[in-house]
């Protein structure tokens, strides 16, 4: 048995090797936990608010292991309704957060990396996610990623009933999988017990967005 387990242990070691000291703990590739989750890191290409890649080519969507497990649970729920998750962003190094902050300077949407704990993305406990259909194609949602208009508000109903239904399904899937949403960005989710993953002092003083459900589902 011991010999049989050895390759498994080696695999775990490799998966956890992407540990980033800045995130305060181990990170895993979300697709190593659930390969059916679609990943399209928008900051890895040009289709984002700065218009150029902020991540090196081939960057994986990383998160705390518990976050990845939660996403797998949300994915299983969504599969029952012929939908699935697509990840737009996950772990975001502080250096990238700084670039985003300087490009936008909009503290309503982008956390200033120099204040408090910065973005919870930089701790590996927040993800940006949308829905795809059973063929992994995009479905109607209220807005695109990083669309800082009223359409980004999670109560936005939109011009078509499908839009409200899709957002609601995403929110229910993520809530039941242990995440909190964000009133001003329908795509942003934080693991409910996020404080557990921050150093004690930082967790106590943290003034961060997306740390509770801010509206009724």
Q: Which two tokens stand for residue 6?
A: 């050895």
State the pairing for strand pair 126-133/185-191.
Answer: antiparallel
| CA 84 – CA 153 distance, rounded (Å) | 21
Q: CB neighbours (10 Å) of residue 134?
A: 11
72 or 127: CB nearest Zn ion: 127
11 or 115: CB nearest Zn ion: 115
**Residue 205 Cβ, how far from Zn ion at the closest point, in Å?**
21
Alpha-carbon distances, residue 188 vs 62, 109, 163, 179, 210 (angstroms): 15, 11, 16, 10, 7
29 or 128: CB nearest Zn ion: 128
Kindly list the residues in this chain that would bind Zn ion in the complex (CB under 5 A).
Answer: 128, 188
**Residue 129 Cβ, how far from Zn ion at the closest point, in Å?**
9
42 or 188: CB nearest Zn ion: 188
Alpha-carbon distances, residue 143 vs 56, 97, 187 (angstroms): 26, 22, 9
**Residue 11 Cβ, how far from Zn ion at the closest point, in Å?**
29
**Residue 121 Cβ, how far from Zn ion at the closest point, in Å?**
6
Residue facing Zn ion at closest CB distance? 188
DSSP 30: H
């Amino acid at each position: 048995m011991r010999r049989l387990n050895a390759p498994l242990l080696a695999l775990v070691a490799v998966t956890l090797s992407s540990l980033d000291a800045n995130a305060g703990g181990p990170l895993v590739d979300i697709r190593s936990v659930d390969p059916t989750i679609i990943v399209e890191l928008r900051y890895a290409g040009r289709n984002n608010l700065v218009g150029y890649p902020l991540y090196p080519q081939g960057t994986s969507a990383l998160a705390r292991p518990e976050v990845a497990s939660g996403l797998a649970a949300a994915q299983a729920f969504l599969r029952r309704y012929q939908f699935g998750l697509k990840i737009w962003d996950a772990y975001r190094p502080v250096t990238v957060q700084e670039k985003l902050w300087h490009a936008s300077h909009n503290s309503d949407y982008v956390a200033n990396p120099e204040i408090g704990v910065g973005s919870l993305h930089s701790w590996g406990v927040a993800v940006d996610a949308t829905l795809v259909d059973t063929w992994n194609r995009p479905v109607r949602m209220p807005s695109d990623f990083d669309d800082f208009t009223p359409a980004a508000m999670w109560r936005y109903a939109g011009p078509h009933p499908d839009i409200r239904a899709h957002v609601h399904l995403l929110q229910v899937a993520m809530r039941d999988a242990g995440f909190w949403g964000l009133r001003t960005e329908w795509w942003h989710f934080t693991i409910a017990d996020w404080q557990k993953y921050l150093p004690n002092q930082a967790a106590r003083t943290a003034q961060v967005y997306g740390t509770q459900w801010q509206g009724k589902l």
